[in-house]
Amino acid sequence: MNKIDFVMIWVDGNDPEWRKEKRMYDSSAEGVDDTEVRYRDWDNLQYWFRAVEKFAPWVNKIHFVTWGHLPKWLNKDNPKLHIVNHRDYIPAEYLPTFNSHTIELNLHRIEGLAEQFVYFNDDFFVTAPVCPEDFFKDNRPMDTYGLDCIYFNKSSAGHFNGNNITVINSHFNRKEAMRKNFSKWYTPKNGIKRVVKTAALSMWPWFPGMYYNHLASNFLKSTYQKVWEIEGEYLNEVCKDKFRSQLNCNQWLMKFWQLAEGVAEPRSTSIGKCFHLKDTNFAEMLNAIETGRYKLICINDTENVSDFEVKKEQVINSFSKLLPEKSSFEK
């Protein structure tokens, strides 16, 4: 089995030095997303490390990407841990950056990164035992195939999805791509609803959009390198933006590219669930953490969460029930 690395990006939104540097740059331009919800800290990072050690002990290396700040409790000497500063891998002309897309689109430049890696935001968690085959099979990334419509809204990722699909349609003929990998697009593993939706959306000659489950993503480093080689001019412009902009693409472009090429192997969406947090689903999310109902979950922060400090403590309490013991990544 080839090595599989985990990559996780994190920002301490409470760091006064980081906030000071962030204030030096103007984020008020039209189309820029710089809301506080992008940076506030749920203070549950130690449980991410506990979960990886307990549920994915086979992982080769953890590349922990930060602006420069580190949790006080982090054991920097853990042999599986590679601490990565933005300046260690992001080209100098893009720094400093407060744009998660810039941070994500340059991950392939991390020194020592394995060809096969799993990318985590700091709100993506492993909550039950996983095996390498949950992420890669025969050295191919596992993913769910499906056509989808793009939802555009001020607070949605529709703009990024639209930009991603624009690039995909510039380089792939949908009919040919899907004909070549027909069995992957129409396998029941993708879920019957997705297969039916894919069939319905196949009347158009282009990709209208692709399904995206907001969970940890499985990538080949060579995919990043290929897309940068082909679309370097556009990616360069995206990475110059200090903050997220509606004109940006994001790392989903790499995911969609792997699907369009047929590189990925089909995987059921039952492996995990994304909770777009709001008061009405909070209890369900807490229960999912405590019971380890899913292998993977996302705790996606939104502006629809009231009493943030109270709910933060509830999340920490639920994680402490699932993962009460310190990991070797903690002092």
CA distance 244 to 261: 27
CA distance 8 to 305: 24
Q: Residue 309: what pLDDT?
A: 85
- What is the mean pLDDT for each group of 10 consecutive residues in the chain (331 residues)? 94 89 75 54 92 98 96 97 98 96 98 98 96 97 96 82 96 97 97 96 94 94 98 98 94 98 96 85 93 95 77 93 98 96
Q: Residue 277: what pLDDT?
A: 76
User: Residue 97 in contact with residue 90, Cβ under 8 Å?
Assistant: yes
Please state whether beta strands 32-33 and 244-245 pair in parallel, antiparallel, or not at all (unpaired): antiparallel
CA distance 301 to 37: 7
The domain made up of 4-322 is a member of CATH 3.20.20.370:
no
Give residues with Cβ within 8 angstroms of 310, minimum separation 6. Answer: none
One DSSP character per residue, 167-210 reads HHHHH--HHHHHHHTHHHHS-GGG-HHHHHHHHHHTTSSS---B
The reported pTM is: 0.94
